Amino acid sequence: MTDKPKGRVLIIAGSDSGGGAGIQADIKTVSALGGYAMTAVTAVTVQNTLGVNGVHPVPPETVRAQIEAVMSDLGADTWKIGMMGSADHVRAVVEAWYAVGDGAPVILDPVMIAKGGASLLSDDAIEIIANELMPIAAMVTPNAPEAEALTGVAVNDLDGQMDAADVLVNRLGAWSALVKGGHIHGSTIRDVLLTQSGYRVFESPRIETKATHGTGCTLASAIAVYNSMGEELEPSVEKARAYLMEAIKHAPGFGQGHQPLGHNWPCKS
């Protein structure tokens, strides 16, 4: 990495044919916020707003080759990691980071289940993420079910979010954790951030909408792009949450199921 961040984000994730989540949402987010998006595709999914109908993994060696090609030429200021699918994919990414990552901060969105309920991560991969990927993560951004799967802590309320964040940082080794509260019932959504400086709770009113597809991908990518431009992690989260709220409000209303966000709203302002 160079001393001066340049807004380069390497996105390692699966493709969403419906354009609402995954690589497509990541690229839209990074581009809308003024960064430069590069990709290593881990899987091609067959999906739309109604659900996932197929998942076709890219060979792990091809994922690593994509990463190496990007890093050998363009470089990256921050890595954003999303859907990986299998333990072999996780290991390939970890090995690539140690080999060519050049110390780039990693924003890890541990995608396990699609919005419609389809599983996107094998059971054996969860253990590898916890043991091998978590220690290189500058920030991990699980929702409540993902935090439960990674930590074994029940995440049903604010206390559960704080306890899970503590495990992610102080036991599993992530530098920081943002345990999201969108899956927890209530009119207010609370996201719990734990860094080396302590806890911070972000609050926002719940928006009643069908436009929830790709919210996790979008938030993590927004954090990554702000970080890639030189922002510290806590202000990156604050700005990313503000971007996400507006993207939800500007949703185009496409599809019959879990609808996509309006990622390019800053470009229309």
b/e sequence 25-55, b meaning 16+ C-beta within 10 Å: bbbbbbbbbebbbbbbbbbbbebbbeebeeb
- Exactly one of 14, 85, 181, 216 is catalytic; which is it? 216
Q: For residues 72 and 87, is the Cβ–Cβ distance under 8 A?
A: no
User: Nearest CA to 40 among 59, 53, 21?
Assistant: 59
Catalytic residue among 141, 151, 195, 212: 212
Give me the sign of the Cα torsion angle 50, 25, 75, 4: negative
Query: Does the active-site annotation cover 152?
Result: no
Q: Which residue is catalytic, options 42, 195, 215, 218? A: 215
Does residue 45 have an active-site annotation?
no
Q: Is 85 a catalytic residue?
A: no
Determine phi and psi for 53, rounding to 5 degrees.
-105, -10
Of 28, 80, 115, 180, the catalytic one is: 180
For 44, what's the count of Cα atoms within 13 Å in the CB-facing half-sphere? 4
216: annotated active-site residue: yes
Residue 22 a catalytic site member: no
Concerning whether 180 is annotated as a catalytic residue, the answer is yes
Cα–Cα distances in angstroms (integers) from residue 264 to residues 30, 106, 192, 243, in the given order: 10, 24, 26, 10
Q: Which of 7, 85, 101, 217 is catalytic?
A: 217
- Which are the catalytic amino acids? 180, 212, 214-217
